[in-house]
Chain A
Amino acid sequence: AQSVAQPEDQVNVAEGNPLTVKCTYSVSGNPYLFWYVQYPNRGLQFLLKYITGDNLVKGSYGFEAEFNKSQTSFHLKKPSALVSDSALYFCAVRDMGGATNKLIFGTGTLLAVQP
């Protein structure tokens, strides 16, 4: 069965420093990978996706993510964090070798950027 793991409940980073939010996945076929952000009392907003092609994908608000097939990871990164980046971040995967290709989410990582 497909699964997504976000090993860190919370990541703390100082404004201006680089940030990384980790994600690993388990699928039976090829993965389609996604990152979303959620602000308090709001729905999830799509940030970026990996379907095929270059392992480094760029998304909204200066975020990027690197697909690593051998490590089954898709970590979210940003070179310089902003206080306004503070939010809950979710990694998600579709297992294209699965029975239904449903979209499954990790448990979320709370990013706190200190001024």
Chain B
Amino acid sequence: NAGVMQNPRHLVRRRGQEARLRCSPMKGHSHVYWYRQLPEEGLKFMVYLQKENIIDESGMPKERFSAEFPKEGPSILRIQQVVRGDSAAYFCASSLLNTEAFFGQGTRLTVV
């Protein structure tokens, strides 16, 4: 039973480009969460999704950031027109309803 799979593990983008981060949840999990971790900081909640629905996006910047979790396929976190401040580790987690969440290895985004 594969765990949460994130790809790519490392992503380098130039300022102004788009970044797409992918997350395949554990088999049977229909709830996905995205978090951002900056060096020396904690894990900041961004968005909580269920299949085809955004449950809570209160932690996601209003501009340039979007997330989806379609009926088929992985969850996607999309960052448009990246800036240096977007450089961080982005973690995805999945769970059943209200249970513990299991994390992927993260995508480390570097904006140059």
Contacts and interface: CB of A to CB of B under 8 A. Distances in A.
A102 B56 contact: yes
Contacts of B55: 100, 102
Contacts of A45: 103
A105 B44 CA distance: 7
B42 A43 contact: no
A90 B42 contact: yes
B96 to A, nearest CB: 12
B11 to A, nearest CB: 15
B42 A44 contact: no
Given A94-B98, A96-B98, A103 B33 contact: yes
B100 A44 contact: no
B25 interface: no
A49 B105 CA distance: 21
- Looking at chain A's contact residues, is the secondary structure mostly helix, strand, loop, or mixed? strand
A74 to B, nearest CB: 14
Contacts of A94: 98
Contacts of A100: 48, 55-56
A44 B42 CA distance: 12
A103 B101 contact: yes
Contacts of A101: 98
Nearest to A104: B45
Interface of B: 4, 33, 35, 41-43, 45, 48, 55-56, 58, 91, 93, 95, 98, 100-106
